[in-house]
Amino acid sequence: MTHVLIADDHSIVRLGIKQIICSLRTDMLVAEARTFDETISLIDAQHFDLLVLDINMPGGNNLQMIQAARLRQPHLRILICSAYEEILYALDYVQTGADGYIEKNSVDDEFKTAIHTVLAGEKYISKAVREQLIRKYTKQQEPHHNPFAVLSGREIEVMNLLIKGLPLVKIAEMLHLQLTTVSTYKARIFEKTGVKNVIALVEKTQMYHATTHFGEAVMKV
């Protein structure tokens, strides 16, 4: 039997991943955990072949979870399943100790490939990340592109308030705009910067601030 543990605080995500795993083979036994503590308790209690791990779990941070799981079961295969953009984070997590990284919105066939690959003892990353890795180690520089350079002044204002965690209603009030207008600005910001949520937007602003210093006006909050 192949024992799999799905660690994610969203029940619908656990259900979807479980269905994919159980469709692979009839010998799959799947357990579920909603928090970091539950995950560690289950790993302490029994052997698992594969841990499908969300990197945002209540009670622990991403690196801590990988290290804690490895300490208890050194041969455990770990597949990170995250809402964060793979192209930005996959290599970091694989280098940290994970055996693979996949985005939660990936199609079923990609999930199946990732699970098969990791269980076979290999590392799983997508084609896009493999190409990124090749460029890194052959020292081919990617064309410099700052996604924030295309934002208008008003979009920068809205973005700065979004990354402070302010709701759209409050932003509309502060900037004296209609709520629908602020919603439009938010959609444009997400589209231009290539993110899907505010958490990813915050991460991306931090990344570009650290590496390219793309401008005080953008980061001034």
CATH 1.10.10.10 fits 147-219, yes or no: yes
- On the question of pLDDT at 218 being above 80, the answer is no
Q: What is the pLDDT of residue 214?
A: 37
Mean pLDDT of 141-163: 78
Distances (CA, A) of 69 to 42, 83, 95, 192, 202: 10, 21, 16, 37, 28
For residue range 52-98, what is the model confidence (pLDDT) as tens digits? 999 777 776 666 788 889 999 999 999 999 887 777 778 778 888 89
> Which of these ranges, 9-18, 46-55, 83-92, has the smallest mean pLDDT?
83-92
Residue 213 has pLDDT above 60, yes or no: no
Amino acid (1-letter code) at residue 30: V
Tokens of 149: 């350079």
The rounded percent of the chain whose pLDDT value lies above 90 is 50
Q: Of 101-105, 145-149, 153-157, where does the model show the most confidence?
A: 101-105
Does domain 2-137 bear CATH number 3.40.140.10? no
pLDDT for 127 equals: 80
Global pTM? 0.62
**In the chain, what are the domain boundaries?**
2-137, 147-219
